[in-house]
Amino acid sequence: MPQKIAAGNWKMNGMRASLDEARAVASGAPDGITTVLCPPATLLAAMPEGLAAGGQYCHPAVKGAHTGDISAEMLADAGASHCITGHSERRADHGETDADVRAQTEAAWRGGLIAILCIGETLAEREAGRTLDVLMGQLDGSLPEGAGPANTIIAYEPVWAIGTGKVATPDQVAEVHDALRGRVGPDMSLLYGGSVKAGNAAELFALVNVDGALVGGASLTAADFLPIAEALAAS
Ligand code: PEP
């Protein structure tokens, strides 16, 4: 059975004062699911007990002359158990390719982290009817040999739904997640991401192959994030 996972991606948001929100999430996190917050790396070591913490990216190397980068081993040393790889903002801002994402995912595993590997189509690709081809191509290029439920979570994040307030319809999500289930097997957790909020979470979590969410904006406060985690626990 796939694990149910409510994951939050704080992106480049959060000062030490934001740890109050993380503490509130930790103390309110429902039983029966895994709750993960991925804060900026500056806050990882200060994350509270009671929830899992993740990085947002890792360099393929263990260490070395890579100014400004961070390794999976460093994230783990700071308390991370998870690491996002292949987020579309990294692909766009830093030109990360599927091959880069594969190397980062392998690095996450090497560092003992569970990779939350993100894939997603652009609006132009969806409108051209290429959604499933694009997603399967991204998986072929970025999902390493040896991926399984113990080391990898897949997050389907349509690029056009991230931070836009446009959430994919349940039919759109179901079509993709059913295809992903066929590709990765019965036990790997499949998350949806893209403008998930308390008001739309329950109908997404009711879908048979949606095992949770990767949440951006609505993960920044406990008041927004906990109802999403609760909807998942109740699903
Ligand atoms: C994300 O950053 O992965 C994301 C899904 O963001 P948002 O929930 O803000 O759309």
Is residue 223 predicted with pLDDT exceeding 90? yes
Q: What share of the chain has pLDDT > 90, as a percent?
A: 98
E strand or H helix that includes residue 203 = helix 198-205
Q: Is 162 in the pocket of ligand 1 (CB under 6 A)?
A: yes
- Among protein residues, the one with the nearest Cα to ligand 1's atom 7 is 216
Distance 65 CA to ligand 1 centre (A): 31
Q: Is 9 in the pocket of ligand 1 (CB under 6 A)?
A: yes
How confident is the model over 10-53, as pLDDT tens digits?
999 999 999 999 999 999 999 999 999 999 999 999 999 999 99
Tell me the HSE value of 61 on the side-chain side, using a 13 A CA sphere: 7
Give the confidence band of 165 by pLDDT, cuts at 50, 70, 90: confident
**In sequence order, what are the residues at sequence separation of 6 or more whose Cβ sits closer than 8 angstroms to the Cβ of residue 116?**
7, 36, 38, 54, 82, 83, 84, 85, 153, 155, 191, 214
Query: Which is catalytic among the residues 87, 89, 96, 106?
Result: 87
Q: What share of the chain has pLDDT > 70, as a percent?
A: 100
Distance 64 CA to ligand 1 centre (A): 31
Residue 145 among the catalytic residues: no
Lowest mean pLDDT among 101-105, 164-168, 204-208, 211-215: 164-168
Provide long-range contacts, Cβ within 8 A and 24+ apart, for 178-181. Answer: 178/208, 178/209, 179/132, 179/135, 179/136, 180/135, 180/139, 180/154, 180/156, 180/209, 181/209
Q: Is 121 in the pocket of ligand 1 (CB under 6 A)?
A: no
Q: Is-contact 100 92, C-beta < 8 A?
A: no
pLDDT value of residue 225 = 98
Is residue 202 predicted with pLDDT exceeding 90? yes
Q: What is the mean pLDDT of the chain?
A: 97
Report yes or no on whether pTM surpasses 0.85.
Answer: yes
pLDDT (average), residues 212-229: 98
Q: Is 120 in the pocket of ligand 1 (CB under 6 A)?
A: no
How confident is the model over 83-97, as pLDDT tens digits?
999 999 999 999 999
